């Protein structure tokens, strides 16, 4: 729970915690339920029409309730994907993407302002990590996107800006909040993507929150992985895959691996064979490989692969008995893989200053 001097960050509270807070304010408990419902709808305090004015004034004094502000919004003409740049309370910006699938809407959310993991191909990490998001700031992306689009979010992927397991406690609290009655998004509809923080993967396995774990692998051996992901210097692939096995054993959830195809770096058919062999040898349990075609970020100089090469890579994995699919790219026309919007907006501010 974040306290801003005497103010309590009420959207980071569970319904039970909110009820205690409301009672401490000397208000009847049913007000907590009303407030909770309004917050889930992403409504500002002034819209909470069934709450007495006096109560709202009291909340203004004692509670912190700041909704993300839509700074920019892009809608794909191709498939209706909506990309948001949200400004938080202190002006920091993060991105969320609303993707519409036949089985429901998925929102990709950010967990940190910036990132300190330093992956070579990623725009989110280019200017480091500014700060962690609070549980309410992660949740706020969902309520704000739902309110703006008029659509319900059925699933969440934690694949936006930041490394979720580098903001462990706030992310766990967020998962508890989002799984609660009002949002009721089941853990099975939530994917958490990590660059591979081994101790945190093991902790997560023990939380009793069976989210789908996606692990960014991007290479089949440590030497290659170290070239593009600094975290590989800390945790070798062997330890990482051992933590993934543990995750499967504890949760029964099949682990997914993300593998971004980068031209000349990791996209040959020999790489596909080595990856399939690695997973067969070390993972043992069924797992899935998501092949992602690199979204080029000009600063990195890295190049993407063509569709034919991606297809050949995928086919080779399947031939060797390893499940793999090329991730569908939604919102191709509004582009900007995670972190690019935030980066360009920060640059604009720097140039103006």
| Binding residue for ligand SAH, selected from 142, 297, 324, 341, defined by CB under 6 A | 297
Indicate the residue among 121 and 168 with the shorter CB distance to ligand SAH: 121
The token duo for 125 is 């990490």
Residue 18 sits in the site that holds ligand SAH (CB under 6 A): no
Give me the helix-helix angle, 237-251 and 198-205, nearest 10°.
10
Indicate the residue among 107 and 159 with the shorter CB distance to ligand SAH: 159
State the DSSP string of 185-233: --GGGEEEEES--HHHHHHHHTTT--PEEEEE---SSHHHHHHH-GGGG
The token duo for 116 is 């300190």
* Nearest partner of 266 among 219, 309, 300, judged by Cα: 219
| Binding residue for ligand SAH, selected from 119, 133, 178, 190, defined by CB under 6 A | 119
Contact segment (CB under 6 A) with ligand SAH among 14-22, 59-67, 92-100, 114-122 equals: 114-122
Residue 257 sits in the site that holds ligand SAH (CB under 6 A): no
Ramachandran category for residue 101: left, alpha or beta (phi over 0 → left; psi -120 to 50 → alpha): beta
Q: Using the Cα atoms of residue 258, residue 155, residue 133 and residue 247 in order, give the sign of their dihedral.
A: negative
Q: Is 95 a catalytic residue?
A: yes
Task: Find tokens 């060797």 and name the residue.
Answer: 320
Q: Evaluate whether 175 touches 169 at the Cβ level (below 8 Å).
A: no
Could you tell me whether strands 104-108 and 93-101 are parallel, antiparallel, or unpaired per DSSP bridges? antiparallel
| Binding residue for ligand SAH, selected from 121, 168, 174, 313, defined by CB under 6 A | 121
CB of residue 196 vs ligand SAH: minimum separation in angstroms?
8
Q: Which of residues 332-351 bind ligand SAH (CB under 6 A)?
A: 337-338
Spatial distance between the Cα atoms of 150 and 319, rounded to a whole number of angstroms = 43
Catalytic residue among 93, 108, 122, 338: 338
Contact segment (CB under 6 A) with ligand SAH among 56-64, 116-124, 142-150, 238-246 equals: 116-124
Applying CB under 6 A, the site for ligand SAH has a residue count of: 17
Phi, psi of 347 (to 5 degrees): -65, -40
CB of residue 121 vs ligand SAH: minimum separation in angstroms?
5
Residue 260 sits in the site that holds ligand SAH (CB under 6 A): yes
Residue 137 sits in the site that holds ligand SAH (CB under 6 A): no
| Binding residue for ligand SAH, selected from 19, 170, 200, 216, defined by CB under 6 A | 216
Spatial distance between the Cα atoms of 215 and 348, rounded to a whole number of angstroms = 33
Spatial distance between the Cα atoms of 20 and 13, rounded to a whole number of angstroms = 10
Indicate the residue among 11 and 231 with the shorter CB distance to ligand SAH: 231
Residue 258 sits in the site that holds ligand SAH (CB under 6 A): yes
Q: Is 122 a catalytic residue?
A: no
Residue 265 sits in the site that holds ligand SAH (CB under 6 A): no
* C-alpha torsion 226→199→92→158, nearest 10: 90
Catalytic residue among 64, 95, 314, 316: 95
Q: Which of residues 298-337 bind ligand SAH (CB under 6 A)?
A: 337
Residue 292 sits in the site that holds ligand SAH (CB under 6 A): yes
Task: List the catalytic residues.
Answer: 95, 338
Which residues would be at the binding site for ligand SAH (CB under 6 A)?
119, 121-122, 159, 163, 193-195, 216, 258, 260, 292, 294-295, 297, 337-338
């Amino acid at each position: 729970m974040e306290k801003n001097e005497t103010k309590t960050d009420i959207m980071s509270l569970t319904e039970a915690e909110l009820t205690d807070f409301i009672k401490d304010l000397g208000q009847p408990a049913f007000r907590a339920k009303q407030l909770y419902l309004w917050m889930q709808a992403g409504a500002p305090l002034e819209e909470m029409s069934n709450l007495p004015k006096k109560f709202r004034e009291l909340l203004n004094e004692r509670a912190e309730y700041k909704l993300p502000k839509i700074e920019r919004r892009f809608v794909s003409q191709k498939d209706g994907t909506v990309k948001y740049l949200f400004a938080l309370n202190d002006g920091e910006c993060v991105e969320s993407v609303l993707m519409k699938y036949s089985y429901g809407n998925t929102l990709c959310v950010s967990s940190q302002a910036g990132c300190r993991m330093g992956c070579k191909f990623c725009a989110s990490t280019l200017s480091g990590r500014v700060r962690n998001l609070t549980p309410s700031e992660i949740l706020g992306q969902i309520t704000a996107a739902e309110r703006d689009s008029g659509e319900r979010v059925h699933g969440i992927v934690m694949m936006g800006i930041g490394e979720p397991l580098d903001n462990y406690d706030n992310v766990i609290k967020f998962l508890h909040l989002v799984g609660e009655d009002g949002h009721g998004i089941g853990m099975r509809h939530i994917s958490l993507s990590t660059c591979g923080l081994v101790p945190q993967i093991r902790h997560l396995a023990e939380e009793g929150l069976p989210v789908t774990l996606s692990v960014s692998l991007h290479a089949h051996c440590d030497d290659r992985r170290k070239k593009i992901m600094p975290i590989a210097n800390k945790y070798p692939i062997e330890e990482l895959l051992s933590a993934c096995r543990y995750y499967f054993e504890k949760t029964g959830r099949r682990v997914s691996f993300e593998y971004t195809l980068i031209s000349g770096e990791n996209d040959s058919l020999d790489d596909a064979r080595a990856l399939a062999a690695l997973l067969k040898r070390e993972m043992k349990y069924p797992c899935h490989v998501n092949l992602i075609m690199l979204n080029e970020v000009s600063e990195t100089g890295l190049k993407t692969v063509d569709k034919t090469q991606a297809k050949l890579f995928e086919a080779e994995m399947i031939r060797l008995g390893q499940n793999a699919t090329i991730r569908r790219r939604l919102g191709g026309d509004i582009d900007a893989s995670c972190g690019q919007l935030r980066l360009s907006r920060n640059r604009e501010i720097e140039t103006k200053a």
